[in-house]
Amino acid sequence: MFITEKRAQKIINLLKKRQKDLQLFSDNVSNPHNFSAILRTSDAVGVLYLYYRYSGSDKIINEDITMGSHKWVIHQKVPDEKIEEFFLSKKKEGFQIVATSLSEDSVHFRKVDYTKPTIIVVGHELKGVSEEILHFADKKIIIPMYGMAQSLNVSVATGVILYEAQRQREEKGMYEKPSLSEEEIENILKEWSTENVIRDKMKKSAVKHFLKND
C-alpha cells in the first residue's frame, strides 16, 4: 500500500458513495474549462465513470478547474469507431441512454427516472449531441428555459441534470448502500493509490530537475 491508512479509509468511504450505474458521456465537449467543470461536478454527485469522445488536439483536462477531482472519476475516451459498440454494450447491460436535445420529442429532464441504470449524454457547445448518438437514446431531455437564451452552458446544464439524478437517488437511499462490491472497491483503491503516488513522484522529480537546471 502506497498511502496511509487514514487516506485509504477516506477513499474507501468515497467509493462506498459512488454510483457505478449513474454514468456520463461527453460527446465532443471541446472547451477544457467546460469538460473539467463537468468532471468536477461528476465527482461531487458520486459519478464513478465518465466516458467521452473528443476530436480536439489540445489537452482536455484543466487541473486548475478540476481542483484534483479528475483523480477520483474514472474517465475514459471512446474512439469514434467504437461509439456504436459502446452504446450497444451499455444497452445490453441494462442502461437507459438519456441525451440532451432541443427536439420536439424531448421531455422535461425531471420526468426521467434516474434511479435506473442511466447514462446521461451531453454534447458539443454549439452542435449538441450528435445524431449518431441520439440514435441510441431511449429518452431525449430538455431543461425548460424562460429567458431569451435557448440553452444553458453545457457544464451548467450537466450540473442541473446530475443534481436532479442525485436528488432522486438520495431520496431512494441509494447513497447509503454501496453499489460497488468489496472486490471492486479494493481494486479501485489499489489503482488510485498507486497512480497518485507515481504521479506525485513524477511531479516532484520534474521540480527537482527544473531547480537543478535553473
Percent of the chain with pLDDT over 90: 79
CATH code for 18-180? 3.40.1280.10
Q: What is the pLDDT of residue 193?
A: 80
Nearest to 75 by CA among 39, 109, 103, 45: 39
Angstrom distance (rounded) from CA 20 to CA 210: 40
CA dihedral 94, 192, 99, 37 (to 10 degrees): 160
pTM here is: 0.89
| Mean pLDDT computed over every residue of the chain | 90
Angstrom distance (rounded) from CA 5 to CA 129: 43
Flag whether pLDDT at 208 surpasses 50: no
Is 66 known to sit in a ligand binding site?
no
Is 143 known to sit in a ligand binding site?
yes
Report residue 203's pLDDT band, with 50, 70 and 90 as the boundaries.
very low
For the stretch 170-199, pLDDT in tens is 999 999 999 999 999 999 998 888 755 434
Report CA 150 to chain centroid distance, whole Å.
24
Q: What is the pLDDT of residue 157?
A: 97
Find the length of the chain: 214
Q: What is the pLDDT of residue 191?
A: 87
Is 41 known to sit in a ligand binding site?
no
For the stretch 99-141, pLDDT in tens is 999 999 999 999 999 999 999 999 999 999 999 999 999 999 9
Hey, where are the domains in the chain? 18-180, 182-214
Cβ-Cβ contacts under 8 Å for 166 (sequence gap 6 or more): 45, 46
Cell numbers at 90, concatenated? 451499455
Q: Contact 85/78 with Cβ under 8 angstroms?
A: no
Cell numbers at 107, concatenated? 421531455
Report residue 212's pLDDT band, with 50, 70 and 90 as the boundaries.
very low
Q: What is the pLDDT of residue 195?
A: 56
